Structure formats: structure tokens, C-alpha cells
């Protein structure tokens, strides 16, 4: 079993643009009885309200939405290239229809009640501190609305990063 160690988020030297935009991430929430995950390529990291935070965006029709809504913690996890096909499955198949964690063969682990996977190489454990639906009346650039042809606006979650763990 791989070992994970806690690290200070300020010690990270990474590009959120390539980490999230190119490598993708899994957003995972739930508990030891039931959890779900989804692939995401939108999000961000920063400082807000004097806290290190991560921003995650989830459409309300996604099954993972229910898990993030109903739990205090969620994880954002990142993977080596060898897991790209597994992340594709997690982004195209609903956990309502199949147990996609079982399908991809990932091993769930838990930290602060937040599920993540043994196969990850970097994990952010986040505690929800704010959630708000995207309001299209706030779009200054009207071309953004083309991402919402079904008016299924994401809910943005701001999560305080309470722990960062890295595989060693």
C-alpha cells in the first residue's frame, strides 16, 4: 500500500492550469458506506477569506452533486497519466447507473471523512465553506453562456483546504 504524507499547501510548486485543465481531477465525496466521484477539468485554487481554498464546480444533475451537497468534506485528487482512461470513465458514466469506482478498480481511502483513492498522487481534502449557483446575469462575457445550452448552471463550491497529502 502506498504511503501518503501531509504537506503544507504553500510548499506546492505546481501549475493549477495544467494540473486541473490538462491532468483533470476527481471530485469525490461520501462516506464509508457510499461515495461517488466525477472527473472535472474546471476549478481553481487560491486564498479567500484568509484561508487556502479550492473551487469546484458541479452541475446539479451529476450524481456526485448529491454527495457533495450532503457531506461536509470532499476531496480533489490528481493522478499520473496512466490513469487517464479511468478518469475518462468517471467523467462519462453516472454512478447512478454503475459502481464506477469498482469499474475502474480504484481503492477508496478516507481522511477526515473525505474519500479519495489509493491510486492518486496528490489529494486536497476540502471542507465546504460556501456554495452558490452560477448566476448567468453576472456574465459580463455573454459567450460564457454557450457552456449552458440546457441552462444547467454549475454550483460553485468553495472548500477550505484542510489537508494536502502527497504520495511518497
- Predicted confidence (pLDDT) at residue 164 exceeds the cutoff of 90: yes
Question: Residue 9 and residue 68: Cα distance in Å, rounded?
Answer: 22
108-145 residue pLDDT tens: 999 878 999 999 999 999 999 999 999 999 999 999 99
Is 105 in a helix, a strand, or coil?
A: coil
pLDDT the model gives residue 103:
92
79-90 residue pLDDT tens: 999 999 999 999
Is 143 in a helix, a strand, or coil?
A: helix
> DSSP assignment, residue 95?
T
Question: Residue 48 and residue 106: Cα distance in Å, rounded?
Answer: 32
23-43 residue pLDDT tens: 789 999 999 999 999 999 889
pTM, full prediction: 0.92
Q: What is the mean pLDDT of residues 146-164?
A: 95
pLDDT the model gives residue 16:
74
Question: Residue 43 and residue 125: Cα distance in Å, rounded?
Answer: 14
Amino acid at each position: 500500500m502506498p504511503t501518503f504524507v501531509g504537506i503544507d499547501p504553500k510548499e506546492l510548486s505546481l501549475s493549477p492550469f495544467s494540473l486541473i485543465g490538462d491532468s483533470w481531477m476527481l471530485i469525490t465525496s461520501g462516506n464509508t458506506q457510499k461515495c461517488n466521484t466525477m472527473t472535472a477539468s474546471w476549478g481553481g485554487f487560491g486564498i479567500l477569506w484568509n484561508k487556502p481554498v479550492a473551487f469546484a464546480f458541479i452541475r446539479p444533475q451529476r450524481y456526485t452533486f448529491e454527495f457533495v451537497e450532503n457531506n461536509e468534506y470532499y476531496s480533489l485528487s490528481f493522478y499520473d497519466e496512466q490513469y487517464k482512461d479511468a478518469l475518462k470513465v468517471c467523467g462519462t458514466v453516472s454512478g447512478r447507473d454503475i459502481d464506477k469506482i469498482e469499474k475502474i478498480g480504484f481503492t477508496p481511502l478516507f481522511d477526515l471523512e473525505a474519500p479519495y483513492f489509493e491510486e492518486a498522487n496528490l489529494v486536497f481534502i476540502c471542507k465546504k465553506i460556501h456554495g452558490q449557483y452560477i448566476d448567468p446575469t453576472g456574465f459580463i462575457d455573454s459567450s460564457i453562456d454557450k457552456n449552458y445550452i440546457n441552462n444547467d448552471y454549475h454550483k460553485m463550491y468553495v472548500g477550505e483546504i484542510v489537508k494536502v497529502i502527497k504520495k511518497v
